[in-house]
Amino acid sequence: MSNILLVKTRFSTALKSKNKRAQRHDNLPLNKPLFAFAIIMVVFGLVFTYSSSAFDSMHYFKRQLMFDIIGFSLMLFLAKFFTKLHTLKIFNPLYILWFCWGLLVWALFSPEAAHTHRWINLGFFNLQPSEFAKVALIIYLASFFSKRPLKTRTFATYAIPIFYSIVTIALIYAGRDLGIPILLAIVLLAMLVIVEMPFKWIGLIAVSSLPLIALAIFHKAYRLKRMFGFLFGEESYQLQHSFYAIGSGGWFGKGFGASDMKLEYLPAAHTDFIFAIICEEGGLFIALGIIIAFTWLLIIGITRARKAQNIYHTYLISGLTLCLFFQAMINMCVATGMAPTKGLPLPFFSYGGSSVIVTLAMIGILMNLFAVEDNN
């Protein structure tokens, strides 16, 4: 009888503890620093979306504002409920990744746009599945490794998430997109380091991927031209005008809306090369501010990841933070000639619905994980 009462008491205590944790997770406060960061970056992004558009600036501004509102709504929703969504079977990370695979296949059979198959035309805007797939892959990797203790892992254990990563990257690459596959490959290697995969295996994966990267470059003449141009200092037309824009901005820029290069001189001025226009109009002062902002995000993200009590939170915070930081750095390196030219948007700034919505969603997930860790 006493044993039964003891079991009931323990069960009651565990249930009360669980209910208290649930109540704490129901009233999660917004992480003020990240919320302020998102507002500042979105506002500056809207300003430069309007300013970098040579013609019909208001059209791009209104559409980007609409995407920002959708993204902000999703960010606030995820900031409150992301952790709770994990209790629903339909939000299994693997199911979400499979769903994104379906969207990527759909995009492959959609009408060609800009010589690629990256988008699905939904009427009111073009959905880019690869943006959602990169987040789905990071969530899956974090979930997978958090459920498998380090001591029980073998090479076969690591082979499963690597397989899913390769399939995701291959599907994105099949749509003639090289930027996001390279970004995901970098994030994957970084996450394998974080989950403590032996370095000899990481080195083996990195070396094995080099022939695939070479094949991807040699497969298209324009990619080969870009690579040789980068290696031997032969600037392309786009990169030359990016340099003109950056160099003419000086320390404090020409002023809002005063860019010359956006007047049909610099291709993709409001998308992939918006950083060059930011340098031209805002100067080195604003450009350094953006670099500092993304560096701050990296520092706070990695710091919170290291302090997280939940290993899943550690992995997911690290993956999302590194993805945002690496994407920003690659974009800015491309615009400044420090990396070969490739299409990859600057988070918060480049015009595009899928990009800004997913970026804000990632911030929302980080806000949720920070708040949950603070409550614990």
The confidence score (pLDDT) of residue 98 equals 97
Reported as a single tens digit per residue, the pLDDT across 197-241 is 988 888 888 888 888 888 887 777 777 777 777 776 666 778 888
The 10 Å Cβ neighbour count of residue 155 is: 11
Q: Which two tokens stand for residue 185?
A: 């490959």
Which comes out higher in pLDDT, residue 236 or 32?
Answer: 32
The 10 Å Cβ neighbour count of residue 116 is: 12
The confidence score (pLDDT) of residue 60 equals 86
The b/e string for 32-67 (b: 16+ C-beta within 10 A; e otherwise) is eebbebbeebbebbbbbbbbbbbeebeebbebbeeb
Reported as a single tens digit per residue, the pLDDT across 89-120 is 888 999 999 999 999 999 999 888 877 888 89
The confidence score (pLDDT) of residue 122 equals 87
pTM across the whole model: 0.90
Cβ(67)–Cβ(357) below 8 Å: yes
Whole-number Å distance between alpha carbons of 374 and 371:
5
Determine phi and psi for 126, rounding to 5 degrees: -95, 120
Q: Do the strands 120-121 and 126-127 form a parallel or antiparallel pair, or are they unpaired?
A: antiparallel
Does residue 30 surpass a pLDDT of 80?
Answer: yes
Average pLDDT over residues 137-154: 91
Whole-number Å distance between alpha carbons of 366 and 94:
20
Whole-number Å distance between alpha carbons of 281 and 303:
34
Please give, one letter per residue, the 3-state secondary structure of the chain: CHHHHHHHHHHHHHHHHHHHHHHHHHCCCCCHHHHHHHHHHHHHHHHHHHHHCCCCHHHHHHHHHHHHHHHHHHHHHHHHHHHHHCCCHHHCHHHHHHHHHHHHHHHHCCCCECCECCCEECCCCEECHHHHHHHHHHHHHHHHHHCCCHHHCCHHHHHHHHHHHHHHHHHHHHCCCCHHHHHHHHHHHHHHHHCCCCHHHHHHHHHHHHHHHHHHHHHCHHHHHHHHHHHHCCCCHHHHHHHHHHHHHCCCCCCCCCCCCCCCCCCCCCCCCHHHHHHHHHHHHHHHHHHHHHHHHHHHHHHHHHHCCCHHHHHHHHHHHHHHHHHHHHHHHHHCCCCCCCCCCCCCCCCCHHHHHHHHHHHHHHHHHHHHHHHC
The percentage of residues in the chain with a pLDDT greater than 90, rounded to a whole number, is 52
Average pLDDT over residues 121-136: 92
Average pLDDT over residues 300-328: 96
The confidence score (pLDDT) of residue 234 equals 66
Q: In sequence order, which residues have a C-beta less than 8 Å from that of residue 277 and are 6 or more positions away?
A: 48, 51, 52, 245, 259, 261, 262, 266, 269, 270
Reported as a single tens digit per residue, the pLDDT across 148-194 is 888 888 888 899 999 999 999 999 999 888 899 999 999 999 999 99
Whole-number Å distance between alpha carbons of 33 and 275:
24
The confidence score (pLDDT) of residue 217 equals 78
Does residue 306 surpass a pLDDT of 70?
Answer: yes
Which comes out higher in pLDDT, residue 248 or 68?
Answer: 68
Handedness of CA 341, 325, 245, 260 (dihedral sign): positive
Which comes out higher in pLDDT, residue 254 or 225?
Answer: 254
Whole-number average pLDDT of the chain: 87
The 10 Å Cβ neighbour count of residue 136 is: 22
Reported as a single tens digit per residue, the pLDDT across 7-27 is 334 434 443 444 444 445 567
